[in-house]
């Protein structure tokens, strides 16, 4: 099949993701990590690597291949992709030990702050000929004690019908399928958009080459990304998936959870409808 536009490259997505990451950090890079933590965490990390070298009898050839791989990940700006796909889910698991409310999931590399604010009911910005099944996604945002949270914000972004994210694929208009939807005076929201397609890690860069070399697959199941915010409450970073979707049981980023799977109902007119409520704990 031919597509009317060139596929985004790993280097393009990677360097945009690196830029977005840098832009999201304060000038000082955030709070300093205490020397004892640096020492404890890095010692443990290195001992895991040393242990792997011994138990797998890693050869010089393999060590040099690893060095070359790491150099290429850096050159391609692919660190945000690689770390978010293979590592972030465990950081999220650890953070979740102390959290109540709606289950979280990884942020991933493609969040862009500062998107258009839209009062609910809202339609996400999209091309006039945006392809894909229409999706109407509604629900309520409440506190863990059940109180509705008026004016809660749902910062939502997702891939298009071809699995590409605006801001990272040059053929897509800026802000496409991204927005900050403001819930009404009873914490209710309704968002009209399209169903995203599964996302494939770009296969032309080092992360793709690693996946290929290991005989794994590069797919994430279709998903919506959300940050749900309300004054005085902890912001939820999460993703929602679709029942029956491909790759749900083998997400390359290991970021699915049974509580985060939507079951949209086809209305018979090309539109799918689904409800999902969010629960936020006091900050
Ligand atoms: C990656 C991309 C995503 O869309 C996502 O949700 C998580 C990870 C990645 O390419 O690393
Ligand atoms: Fe994603």
Whose Cα sits closest to atom 4 in ligand 1?
108
pLDDT in tens, 10-63: 888 888 888 889 888 877 777 889 999 999 999 999 999 999 999 999 999 999
Region of residue 187 (left: phi > 0; alpha: psi -120 to 50; beta: else): left
Which atom of ligand 1 lies nearest, measured to the CA of 80?
A: 11
Which atom of ligand 1 lies nearest, measured to the CA of 199?
A: 4
Whose Cα sits closest to atom 10 in ligand 1?
81
77, 79, 81, best to mutate for ligand 1 pocket (most atoms within 8 Å of CB): 81
| CA angle (19, 39, 64) in 5-degree steps | 65
Average pLDDT over residues 236-250: 97
For the CA of 219, the nearest ligand: 1
pTM listed for this prediction: 0.94
Domain assignment of residue 29, yes or no: no
Helix (H, G, I), strand (E, B) or coil at 44: helix
Query: How many Cβ atoms from other residues are within 10 Å of residue 216's Cβ?
Result: 12
Instruction: For residues 109 and 42, give the distance between their C-alpha atoms in angstroms, rounded to a whole number.
Output: 24
Which atom of ligand 1 lies nearest, measured to the CA of 81?
A: 11
Confidence at 78, pLDDT banded by 50, 70, 90: very high
Which atom of ligand 1 lies nearest, measured to the CA of 83?
A: 11
Q: Number of structural domains, the chain?
A: 1
* CATH code for the domain in which residue 272 is found: 2.60.130.10
Closest CA to 183 of 157, 235, 148: 148
By 3-state DSSP, what share of the chain in percent is helix, strand and coil, each rounded to 5? Answer: 30, 25, 50
Q: How far is the CA of 157 from the centre of ligand 2 (A)?
A: 8
pLDDT at 4: 63
Domain assignment of residue 58, yes or no: no
Domain assignment of residue 21, yes or no: no
Q: How far is the CA of 107 from the centre of ligand 1 (A)?
A: 8
Domain assignment of residue 14, yes or no: no
Percent of the chain with pLDDT over 90: 87
Residue 228's H or E segment, with its range, is strand 223-229
Closest CA to 65 of 175, 247, 213, 168: 213
Whose Cα sits closest to atom 5 in ligand 1?
108
Assess whether pLDDT exceeds 90 at residue 274: yes
Domain assignment of residue 28, yes or no: no
pLDDT at 28: 73
Closest CA to 260 of 281, 273, 274, 272: 274
Task: Answer with the residue of higher pLDDT: 28 or 67.
Answer: 67
Provide the token pair at 200. 């494939």
Q: How far is the CA of 252 from the centre of ligand 1 (A)?
A: 9
Assess whether pLDDT exceeds 50 at residue 2: no
Q: Any idea which of 28-42, 43-57, 66-80, 101-115 has the lowest mean pLDDT?
A: 28-42
Domain assignment of residue 275, yes or no: yes
Instruction: For residues 103 and 92, give the distance between their C-alpha atoms in angstroms, rounded to a whole number.
Output: 10
Domain assignment of residue 78, yes or no: no
Q: How far is the CA of 110 from the centre of ligand 1 (A)?
A: 7
Residue 113's H or E segment, with its range, is none
Phi, psi of 194 (to 5 degrees): -125, 160
Assess whether pLDDT exceeds 70 at residue 1: no
Domain assignment of residue 88, yes or no: no
- List ligand 1's pocket residues with C-beta within 6 A: 81, 84-85, 106, 108-110, 199, 201, 220, 253
Phi, psi of 92 (to 5 degrees): -65, -45
- Residue 186 lies in domain: 95-280
Give CA 157 to chain center in angstroms: 9
């Amino acid at each position: 099949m031919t597509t009317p536009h060139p596929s985004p490259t790993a280097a393009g997505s990677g360097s945009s993701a690196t830029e977005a990451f840098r832009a999201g950090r304060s000038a000082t890079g955030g709070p300093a990590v205490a020397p004892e933590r640096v020492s404890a965490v890095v010692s443990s990390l290195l001992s895991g690597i040393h242990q792997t070298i011994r138990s797998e009898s890693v050869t010089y050839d393999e060590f040099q291949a690893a060095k070359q791989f790491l150099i290429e990940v850096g050159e391609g700006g692919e660190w945000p992709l690689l770390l978010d796909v293979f590592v972030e889910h465990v950081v999220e698991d650890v953070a979740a030990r102390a959290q109540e409310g709606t289950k979280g999931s990884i942020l991933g590399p493609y969040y862009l702050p500062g998107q258009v604010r839209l009062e609910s009911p809202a339609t996400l910005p999209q091309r006039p000929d945006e392809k894909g099944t229409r999706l109407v996604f509604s629900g309520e945002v409440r506190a863990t004690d059940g109180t509705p949270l008026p004016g809660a914000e749902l910062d939502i972004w997702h891939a298009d019908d071809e699995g590409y994210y605006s801001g990272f694929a040059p053929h897509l208009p800026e802000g496409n399928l991204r927005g900050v939807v403001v819930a009404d005076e009873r914490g209710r929201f309704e968002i009209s958009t399209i169903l995203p397609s599964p996302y494939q890690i770009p296969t032309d860069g080092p992360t793709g080459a690693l996946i290929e070399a290991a005989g794994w697959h590069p797919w994430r199941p279709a998903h919506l990304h959300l940050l749900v915010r309300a004054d005085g409450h902890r912001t939820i970073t999460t993703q929602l998936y679709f029942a029956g979707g491909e790759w749900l049981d083998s997400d390359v980023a290991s970021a699915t959870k049974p509580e985060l799977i939507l079951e949209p109902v086809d209305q018979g007119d090309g539109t799918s409808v689904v409800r999902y409520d969010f629960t936020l704990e006091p900050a």
